[in-house]
């Protein structure tokens, strides 16, 4: 695939794309994917909304802040002037963004797009140890950071490429002062649709983080595929949810998609399930993006919050069990829209909406994407069957100078690392991450299936199921369980849970080892970190 000439002055991103023979195959046959060139996704999302009379509509709400589309544009444009006139930002520069989801953070992201720079959004909970490899890998000179979080970055000044930190929201009002005198118009910098506009780091659990590079056109592609076909929404919709925009699930669901639909964004005060339930009630939100765990938590408080405004609820990041899907349905009358996405693919590529939803299944390939299953020998599985998932579509994996590109992209397919089963009707059912498959006494057992069975027991709050080395069986199934408040951990409960699994699944899948603990290890995006429980 020939790339259109870059409009970046700083060509770092273009120079560090993987060699072309390691790229996935891209498919652009969907009609909505005719993308103009030059193309700037910030202008496309924001400036076009103003041209189309959305100015006085609410764009972002949080606490007592209410910004109309016009106000969001004013703030964004002032930030564009601060970036270019005062901070010397040129097209192609990488800018680290650090802070919780907020109106100013969203305006910053849009400003970085409009000036043709590259946003590297980071999770607020990251510390120096985790920020350093990001700054070094993406060669970042400038960070814009919430005033309460600057400490972890300051130690990187001088010892990494980082040269300047500008804070916002603090008593000195550094960024706010710089914005004050700026004009409220800014014509977006012309960028190629193939210019990198964001670098998203994977929330991987071990080793060096991987940096995925996405183009201006990829931001359009996530709208024209998943959002357009799976998320019925319009100007009256009110989006809310928890994931940070540093997680591309949150970037799409809470910033890009609502702007695409000219809807409103209502941000919870924090990323907790409680704050989310409060926000749904307070803003009468219609669309929610969050994880299965948060849906599970909110289901338990259904009588404490008014959830009657909800219309579309999207779940991603981890497998959604039929149990959670059913209990959310019973609590709200809404069927959860499950979707599997990935940082490498930018957003969701298998999903189902409305009447097409089959609880327990993830769904079918989203229009624009093709899925293929591969057996152990790398041969395509035709018809119903189980195998490793490969995906092709308008988006795909481009790691920033990383040998692991060859592991993720095989024969033009993006190999997500997941094992899936396809049924007679073409629905895809999540089995496990390939790493989480347990081989015990010759049987293949999927950890998540045993977890789902354990979660049906009233004494189980959370659990993780892993393979544990065993001289006789190779591995045995081991369950690490956080008991519900009031349940008594010990041999009796272990026995009860083992019996419960034997009654629920084929008995050979029951956990021969059961351990109790107070909390399970999680990644910054809230995923269960099963690897951290395995023997070192």
Sites of contact with ligand 3UK (CB under 6 A)? 202-203, 248-249, 316-320, 338-343, 347-348, 362, 416-418, 430, 433, 525
Task: Tell me the closest approach of the beta carbon of residue 492 to ligand 3UK, in angstroms.
Answer: 33
Cβ-based neighbours of 393, under 8 Å, separated by 6 or more? 26, 27, 221, 225, 345, 349, 366, 368, 369, 370
Task: Tell me the closest approach of the beta carbon of residue 159 to ligand 3UK, in angstroms.
Answer: 29
Nearest residue to 78 via CA among 110, 117, 120: 110
The alpha carbon of 47 is separated from its chain's Cα centroid by a whole number of angstroms, namely: 25
Cβ distance to ligand 3UK smaller for residue 10 or 418: 418
**DSSP letter string, 425-442:** TS-EEEEEEGGGEEEETT
The rounded distance, in Å, linking the Cα atoms of 472 and 383 is: 36
Cβ distance to ligand 3UK smaller for residue 512 or 522: 522
Q: What token pair was written down for 355?
A: 């009447």
The rounded distance, in Å, linking the Cα atoms of 65 and 282 is: 13
Cβ distance to ligand 3UK smaller for residue 188 or 221: 221
Cβ distance to ligand 3UK smaller for residue 263 or 321: 321
Task: Tell me the closest approach of the beta carbon of residue 435 to ligand 3UK, in angstroms.
Answer: 9
Cβ distance to ligand 3UK smaller for residue 317 or 390: 317
Task: Tell me the closest approach of the beta carbon of residue 202 to ligand 3UK, in angstroms.
Answer: 5
Cβ distance to ligand 3UK smaller for residue 147 or 410: 410
Cβ-based neighbours of 196, under 8 Å, separated by 6 or more? 8, 13, 14, 17, 92, 118, 213, 214, 215
Q: What token pair was written down for 16?
A: 């560090």
The rounded distance, in Å, linking the Cα atoms of 242 and 269 is: 10
Cβ distance to ligand 3UK smaller for residue 102 or 525: 525
The rounded distance, in Å, linking the Cα atoms of 145 and 164 is: 10
Cβ distance to ligand 3UK smaller for residue 87 or 233: 233
Cβ distance to ligand 3UK smaller for residue 249 or 510: 249
Task: Tell me the closest approach of the beta carbon of residue 444 to ligand 3UK, in angstroms.
Answer: 17
Handedness of CA 133, 138, 139, 141 (dihedral sign): negative
Task: Tell me the closest approach of the beta carbon of residue 283 to ligand 3UK, in angstroms.
Answer: 23
Nearest residue to 346 via CA among 325, 369, 362, 364: 369
Task: Tell me the closest approach of the beta carbon of residue 187 to ligand 3UK, in angstroms.
Answer: 31
Residue 225 burial (CB < 10 Å; 0-12/13-18/19+)? Answer: buried
The rounded distance, in Å, linking the Cα atoms of 504 and 453 is: 6
- Cα-atom radius of gyration of the chain, to the nearest Å? 23
Task: Tell me the closest approach of the beta carbon of residue 235 to ligand 3UK, in angstroms.
Answer: 24
Cβ distance to ligand 3UK smaller for residue 313 or 476: 313
Cβ distance to ligand 3UK smaller for residue 76 or 362: 362
Cβ distance to ligand 3UK smaller for residue 114 or 347: 347
Cβ-based neighbours of 9, under 8 Å, separated by 6 or more? 90, 91, 92
Q: What is the number of H-type helices and E-type strands within the chain?
A: 18, 26
**DSSP letter string, 198-223:** EEEE---SSSSPPEEEEEHHHHHHHI
Task: Tell me the closest approach of the beta carbon of residue 318 to ligand 3UK, in angstroms.
Answer: 5
- What is the 3-state composition of the chain as percent helix, strand, coil, each rounded to the nearest 5? 35, 25, 40
* Cβ-closest position to ligand 3UK: 341
Task: Tell me the closest approach of the beta carbon of residue 352 to ligand 3UK, in angstroms.
Answer: 11
Task: Tell me the closest approach of the beta carbon of residue 178 to ligand 3UK, in angstroms.
Answer: 32
Handedness of CA 348, 349, 351, 354 (dihedral sign): positive
Long-range own/partner contacts, residues 486-492 (CB < 8 A, 24 or more apart): 487/459, 487/460, 489/516, 490/516
For residue 73, the tally of other CB atoms under 10 A from its CB is 24
Task: Tell me the closest approach of the beta carbon of residue 370 to ligand 3UK, in angstroms.
Answer: 16
């Amino acid at each position: 695939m020939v790339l259109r000439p870059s409009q970046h002055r700083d060509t770092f991103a273009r120079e560090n794309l993987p060699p072309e023979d390691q790229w996935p195959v891209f498919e652009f046959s969907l009609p909505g994917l005719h993308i103009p060139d030059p193309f700037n996704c910030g202008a496309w999302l924001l400036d076009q909304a103003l041209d189309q009379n959305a100015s006085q509509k609410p764009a972002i709400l949080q606490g007592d802040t209410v910004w109309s589309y016009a106000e969001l544009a004013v703030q964004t444009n002032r930030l564009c002037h601060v970036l270019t006139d005062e901070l010397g930002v040129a097209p192609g520069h990488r800018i680290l963004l650090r802070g919780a989801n907020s109106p100013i953070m969203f305006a910053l992201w849009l400003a970085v797009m409009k000036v043709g720079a590259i946003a590297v959004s980071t999770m607020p909970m990251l510390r120096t140890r985790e920020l350093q490899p990001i700054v070094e890998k993406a060669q970042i000179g400038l960070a814009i950071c919430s005033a309460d979080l600057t400490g972890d970055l300051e130690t990187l000044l001088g010892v990494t490429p980082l040269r300047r930190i500008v804070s916002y929201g603090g008593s000195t009002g550094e960024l706010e002062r710089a914005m004050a005198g700026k004009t409220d118009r800014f014509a977006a910098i012309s960028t190629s649709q193939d210019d990198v506009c964001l670098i998203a780091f994977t929330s991987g659990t071990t080793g060096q983080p991987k940096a995925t590079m996405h183009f201006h056109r990829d931001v359009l592609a996530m709208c024209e595929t998943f959002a357009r076909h799976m998320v019925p929404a319009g100007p009256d919709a009110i989006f809310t949810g928890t994931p940070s925009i540093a997680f591309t699930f949150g970037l799409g669901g809470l910033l890009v998609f609502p702007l695409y639909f000219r809807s409103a964004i209502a941000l919870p005060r924090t990323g907790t399930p409680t704050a989310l339930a409060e926000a749904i009630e307070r803003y009468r939100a219609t669309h929610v993006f969050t994880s299965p765990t948060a849906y599970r938590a909110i289901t338990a408080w259904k009588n404490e919050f008014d959830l009657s405004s909800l219309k579309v609820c999207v779940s991603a990041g981890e497998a959604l069990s039929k149990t959670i899907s059913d209990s959310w349905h019973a609590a709200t009358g809404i069927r959860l829209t499950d979707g599997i996405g990935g940082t490498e693919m930018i957003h969701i590529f298998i999903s189902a909406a409305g009447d097409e939803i089959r609880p327990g299944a993830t769904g079918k390939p989203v229009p624009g994407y093709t899925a293929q299953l591969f057996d152990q020998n790398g041969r395509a599985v035709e018809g119903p069957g189980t195998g490793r998932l490969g995906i092709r579509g308008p988006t795909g994996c481009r790691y920033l100078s990383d040998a692991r590109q060859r592991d993720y992209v095989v024969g033009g397919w993006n190999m997500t690392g997941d094992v899936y089963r396809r049924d007679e009707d073409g629905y895809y059912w999540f089995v496990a991450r390939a790493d989480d498959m347990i081989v015990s006494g010759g049987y293949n057992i999927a950890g998540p299936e045993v977890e789902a069975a354990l979660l049906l027991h009233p004494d189980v709050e959370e659990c993780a199921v892993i393979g544990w080395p065993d001289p006789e069986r190779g591995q045995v199934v081991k369950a690490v369980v956080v008991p519900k408040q009031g349940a008594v951990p010990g041999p009796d409960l272990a026995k009860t849970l083992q019996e419960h699994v034997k009654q629920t699944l084929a008995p050979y899948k029951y956990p021969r080892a059961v351990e109790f603990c107070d909390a399970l290890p999680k990644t910054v995006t809230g995923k269960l970190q099963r690897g951290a429980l395995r023997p070192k």
